[in-house]
Amino acid sequence: MEQGIIQSLGRPGGNITGLVAQVSPDIVGKRVELIKELVPNMGRLVFLNQDDNPPEVLRALEEASRRMGLSFLLAEIPQQTLRMPSPSFVWNALTQCM
């Protein structure tokens, strides 16, 4: 809310959504399908990545995105950033991807 990304927690409005979780390559495709089902007019998937995600997960994520007709962008978060990046860091990363 502080960055102006959403109006309120109860009624965020806008078109930004997110998901944080460690996943294996075999369920990445299903997660992309579920996100696309929730946001049918979504055209781009941006993945904020730190170095701890295995390359096979990133490949599976990109393949699943393309299969669903989404453009895919991988945005690297520097490892020295805190485990949970600040909202302003996330906002800057997202605006660079738009």
Note down the domain range covering 45: 25-97
The pLDDT value given to residue 60: 92
**Per-residue pLDDT reduced to its tens digit, 23-69:** 678 788 888 888 899 888 889 888 878 777 788 889 999 999 999 99
**Per-residue pLDDT reduced to its tens digit, 64-83:** 999 999 999 888 877 665 56
Residue 84 lies in a domain: yes
Q: State the CATH number of the domain containing residue 54.
A: 3.40.50.2300
Residue 12 lies in a domain: no
What DSSP string runs through the chain? -TTSS-S-SSS--SS---------HHHHHHHHHHHHHHSTT--EEEEEE-TTS-HHHHHHHHHHHHHTT-EEEEEEPPTTS-SS--HHHHHHHHHHH-
Residue 37 lies in a domain: yes
In total, how many domains does the chain have?
A: 1
Q: What is the pTM of this model?
A: 0.60
